[in-house]
Amino acid sequence: MNKIIDLRSDTVTLPSDEMRQSIANADLGDDVFQEDPTINQLESKSSELFGKEAAIFVPSGTMGNLASILAHCDRGTEIILGDKSHTFLYEGGGISAFGGIHSRQLPNQDDGTLDVEEIKSAIRTENDHFPKTSAISLENTHNMCFGMPLSVEYINSVALIAKENGLKLHIDGARIFNAAVALNVAVKDLVENADSVTFCLSKGLAAPVGSVVCGGEKFIYQVRRNRKALGGGMRQAGILAAAGLLSLNLAESQLLEDHKNAKLLAEGIAQINGLTIDEKKVQTNIIYFGLNSPKLTGSQLVSKMEGRGIKFFETSSNRFRLVTHYGITRDDIEKTLEVLDKMVN
């Protein structure tokens, strides 16, 4: 059977044999009672890696962001975030639906940042007509902005604005390990001045399920209460945490390989007539490219490529996203480029 080359997302990774073994051998307990030793080990390791007081395992990044923002913001208050952020676009409007929290969307720049002057201007003055600004949320790396990593300096500049105005800063760090590898810094340096961070185990880290929220002890206590209310309290969840623990140990080497494959893919796409790409914007494991050909439409290209065993998404008309990850090899990249060239030309 021919291999399916699935470049739709880094969420499609399958656990390695070593991960499956770690799952089978995990020490287990009841995590709702905080008695699962593998969960406790994962949370302890995560808080240490991120330089925070405490951490909590949650089923998904969406729940992690929601539980965090609910902990930071009272009902009827407002959070500042990007108009291309995952929390705004792809999390079911949860902060409004479940938290009664208003979102103030500022335009994301191509590098994933929000303009600092626009952030300052968006903070509400004290007035009965306005919702009170409670928090700011940044995304690192930024999914919809070419997978761009946000620098330590930029995050610290936003953290300073938050501190000066009595606001909380939350980092949606679904792919923050990709950012750390791309910038050659430690993850704790990226969140040193942030109040909280959520990171995914099930994307580039290649574990099957789960995310972790890190922050202060009082904050994590409230996130734990929110997790329970949202239905995220699991029992012998150590079978999931075991894979996450292993993935943290292997993160850097795997992500470096993913980034190399992404650059190789971008370089190849740049050589194909009818395709357009800005190679400078490929800094992590996410590639966006365009189609400029009278021979076929975007949907036809996706369909034809899938027929040849290569999957990816059309994110908008004639614009596509590819994501490299564990399980994608250099040979897969070369085959993808070969088939792309044939389909377009």
Domain ranges of the chain: 5-10+251-344, 16-248
- Amino acid identity at 58: V
Average of per-residue pLDDT across 266-294: 95
pTM: 0.95
Q: Which is nearest to 74 in space by CA: 226, 293, 215?
A: 226
When pLDDT is averaged across residues 116-144 and rounded to a whole number, the result is: 97
Q: Which fold has domain 16-248?
A: Aspartate Aminotransferase; domain 2 (3.40.640)
Tell whether the model's pLDDT for residue 256 goes beyond 90. yes
Instruction: Read off the pLDDT of residues 299-310 as tens digits, 9 standing for 90 and up.
Output: 999 999 999 999
* Per-residue model confidence (pLDDT) at position 48: 98
Tell me the backbone φ, ψ of residue 25, rounded to 5 degrees: -100, 10
pLDDT at 208 over 90: yes
pLDDT of residue 270: 97
Q: Kindly calculate the radius of gyration of the chain based on its CA atoms and give it in whole angstroms.
A: 21
Alpha carbon 312 to its chain's center: 18
Percent of the chain scoring above 70 in pLDDT = 100
Distance CA 117, CA 158 (A): 10
- Copy the structure tokens of residue 22: 């770690």
Supply the pLDDT for residue 303: 96
- pLDDT per residue over 73-108, tens digit each? 999 999 999 999 999 999 999 999 999 999 999 999
* CA angle in degrees (0–180, nearest 5) for 20-147-334: 70
Mean pLDDT value across the chain: 96
d(CA 213, CA 220): 8
Handedness of CA 128, 98, 176, 90 (dihedral sign): negative
Give dist(CA 129, CA 202) in Å, integer: 42
User: Which amino acid type is present at position 27?
Assistant: D
Distance CA 207, CA 245 (A): 9
Report the DSSP pairing between strands 168-172 and 196-200.
parallel
Q: Which fold has domain 5-10+251-344?
A: Aspartate Aminotransferase, domain 1 (3.90.1150)
Residue 88 and residue 81 in contact, taking contact as beta carbons nearer than 8 Å = yes
pLDDT of residue 78: 98
DSSP 59-70: S-HHHHHHHHHH
Please state the rounded mean pLDDT for residues 110-136: 97
Q: Is the pLDDT of residue 1 over 70?
A: no
Cα–Cα dist 13/207, whole Å: 8
* CA-wise closest residue to 168 among 89, 79, 64, 53: 79
Residues 210 and 269: their CA atoms lie apart, in Å, by 33
The C-alpha atoms of residue 162 and residue 72 are separated, in whole angstroms, by: 12
- Report the distance separating Cα 92 and Cα 99, nearest Å: 12
> Tell me: the pLDDT tens digits for 162-206?
999 999 999 999 999 999 999 999 999 999 999 999 999 999 999
pLDDT of residue 295: 84
Instruction: Please work out, in degrees rounded to the nearest 5, the angle formed at the alpha carbon of residue 149 by the alpha carbons of 147 and 155.
Output: 140
pLDDT given for residue 225 in this prediction:
97
